[in-house]
Amino acid sequence: MYKTFTMELAGRTLKVDIGRVGKQANGCAFMQYGDTTVLSTATASEKPRDGIDFFPCSVEYEEKFYAVGKIPGGFNKREGKASENAVLTSRVIDRPMRPLFPKDYRNDVTLNNMVMAVDPECRPELVAMLGTAIATCISDIPFDGPCAMTQMGMVDGELIVNPSQEQWDNGDLKMTVASTAQKVIMIEAGANEIPEAKMLEAIYKAHDINQTIIEFINKIVAECGKPKHAYESCAIPEELFEKMKEIVPPAEMEEAVFTDEKQVREENIRQITAKLEEAFADNEEWLAILGEAIYQYQKKTVRKMILKDHKRPDGRELTQIRPLAAEVDIIPRVHGSAMFTRGQTQICNVTTLAPLSEAQKVDGLDPNVTEKRYIHHYNFPAYSVGETKVSRGPGRREIGHGALAERALIPVLPSTDEFPYAIRTVSETFESNGSTSMASTCASCMSLMAAGVPIKKMVAGISCGLVTGDTDDDFVLLTDIQGLEDFFGDMDFKVTGTTEGITAIQMDIKIHGLTRPIVEGAIERCREARLFIMDTCMKPAIAAPRPEVGKYAPKIISIQIDPERIGDVVGQRGKTINEIIARTGVKIDITDDGMVSICGTDKEMMDKAVEMVKIITTDFEEGQIFKGTVVSIKEFGAFIEFAPGKEGMVHISKIAKERINHVEDVLTLGDKVTVVCLGKDKMGRISFSMKDVSQR
């Protein structure tokens, strides 16, 4: 026996089946929105995981290719590791869900979403987000929900609730907003320079829609929800805290953390830890949880300093940005490079340019996105935080940070008509102490300009933090948070943009939501800070894109040909185009509309390739002059190749002004000659003359 619930959401029917499938999961929701179908489940282990001091929650988003009627590529013909879109979707689902679980819950939790059918009018990511919330709310897993998610798009200045895939891909806004019944709990956005006021309008329109969804979820929970199970609390005993304060008074802990040098602070904490370990040497139970207890003690100290005394650990004012530095061209021979430093956060970004044929191919569930012309990658090595760890490739965090900086710059990139290049930027984290993704945005913007990419405007980013008290109006906003303020604070609100508006937002919080004054204040703080960063740091390093690409970057010449002549350039089985490439060393891309892009580093060879393409695609008329090579000699004349795959004949009588008895008397194979076109003979072949060239 199962129950079905429906509601009208943005003009479409949302249908939820409970108890139809997945009955052994703690919670399961079989979701349909339009024809998009997602199976969402929530499961938890019976006992907590031993030896950990965090909540072990994993969010999965599985893209099944049968959902769009495709067979996966590759040898195995089955889905492999999660795509970048799947990783980013998992992160967007995780961020609003995680704060609503008990802070002292240590049972393993897995929130899984399997996309089984995709209706282009109803994006599967949204359905998975709602399914996760519903499955968790009706389960017996402790959860302080419900929460709901709404996506906002914008086309021609009009906000659209839960846009179709086409509206999402081609609109000016891609925003996801999650809410509880009272507050906004998560924001993720990419935008085409949308002003702050319009962004706030979109956020709170989504928040209002979320309230109707929460009412719907509450109805489902009332009829199908399970009682929440009891769990073993991992909270630190208050008795331990009191004993720690006797050994290390609050003033001593405050002095230990009150420094702008991360290494000094860590050394101070090591000394405090050693003192406490010695004091509790006979208490194994307390020693086992001492690390978490010291962390909590630091957290309470830092929060009290900020909230009550308005003192930041490094002594800055609440709105003050750490020391800034920027420079370009720090790496020789690469196509573009820049380094951006903010306090103890330092990013080096390198830009690489390539022909459009090297754009990244995308094999996913969105039929409108088959390749990425701009790619931003982000790396976070262990040495950047003074740790020793073997690199195992990018994790979800690295993928997410790279995507955020990528999203920030997409609105200002030139079109392929203006700049026919594939572009890759890579941010290498040299040093980290908070908000490396925003430093990556600044560094990649300068790196692109140094590479000669004609971006439309400069983009900068900054993060705003938060410490809250016991009431909604008791809070402190912090401009440019460092690592300690991120770890111990309540919010990491990242905003990127130009002087005109916002290009990306990513909001992470650790509390049960933000009031509107906090959201408005954070957005305004970030606007002021990014303008300051551009004016005082980035513009002095490089104020505008360089007029042309660098010495070592490939050059591209684009010419338009008749689309019906593409076959002539390509030749049978690619013979002609491959011959042009072999002779000149260039790369050639041809689009379906006849745009030919010739890429290389040798200007002479590029011009030669352009000439060949023009010759091949030009109708031959009497009087045209060509240069060619003798490729065949017959008794009656010689055949001249004037372009790859293109030949014409010079009759023996047209070789020299004087009479000759044999072609070989004048020509040999491989000779370079200049000829004039006489038109076509009776057999349709092109006829040339050598002797009449001087008369033209």
Task: Tell me how far apart the alpha carbons of residues 686 and 622 are, in angstroms, rounded to a whole number.
Answer: 10
Q: Say whether pLDDT at 661 is over 90.
A: no
Where are the extended beta strands (E) located within 118-235?
148-155, 158-161, 173-179, 184-194
pLDDT band at 695 (very low <50, low <70, confident <90, very high): low
Amino acid sitting at position 234: C
Tell me the C-alpha distance between 137 and 496, whole Å.
Answer: 34
The answer to whether residue 531 scores a pLDDT higher than 90 is: yes
Are the C-beta atoms of 378 and 353 separated by less than 8 Å?
no
Residue 311 is given by DSSP the state -
Complete DSSP assignment for 619-662: PP-TT-EEEEEEEEEETTEEEEEEETTEEEEEEGGGT-SS--S-
- Residue 107 confidence class, pLDDT cut points 50, 70, 90: very high
Predicted pLDDT of residue 611: 85
Span of 38-47, 111-120, 292-301, 620-629 with lowest mean pLDDT: 620-629
Query: For residue 319, what are its two tokens?
Result: 């709105």
Residue 161 has pLDDT above 90, yes or no: yes
Lowest mean pLDDT among 299-303, 363-367, 375-379: 363-367
What average pLDDT does this structure show over 39-57?
Answer: 93
- 531-to-477, 478, 495 alpha-carbon distances in Å: 18, 17, 12
User: What is the reported pLDDT for 614?
Assistant: 85
Residue 410 has pLDDT above 90, yes or no: yes
pLDDT at 641: 86
Across 353-362, 503-512, 554-563, 627-636, the highest mean pLDDT is recorded for: 503-512
Q: In what order do the strands lie in the sheet with 555-560?
A: 555-560, 595-600, 587-590
Whether the predicted pLDDT of 575 surpasses 80 = yes
> What confidence score (pLDDT) does residue 490 get?
94
Give the per-residue pLDDT at 144: 95
Report the C-alpha gap between 696 and 687 in whole angstroms. 16
pLDDT at position 223, please? 96
Segment 581-597 shows an average pLDDT of 89
How high does pLDDT run on average in the chain? 92
Three-class DSSP labels, 389-438:
CCCCCCCHHHHHHHHHHHHHHHHHCCCCCCCCEEEEEEEEEEECCCCHHH
Q: What is the mean pLDDT of residues 258-282?
A: 87
Q: Decide which of 643 and 341 is more confident.
A: 341
- Ordered by where they begin, the domains of the chain are 3-148+196-224 (3.30.230.70), 238-309 (1.10.10), 324-541 (3.30.230.70), 555-616 (3.30.1370.10), 625-695 (2.40.50.140)
Q: What is the pLDDT of residues 436-464, one digit of tens each?
A: 999 999 999 999 999 999 999 999 999 99
Please state, as a whole number, how many other Cβ atoms lie within 10 Å of the Cβ of residue 443. 28
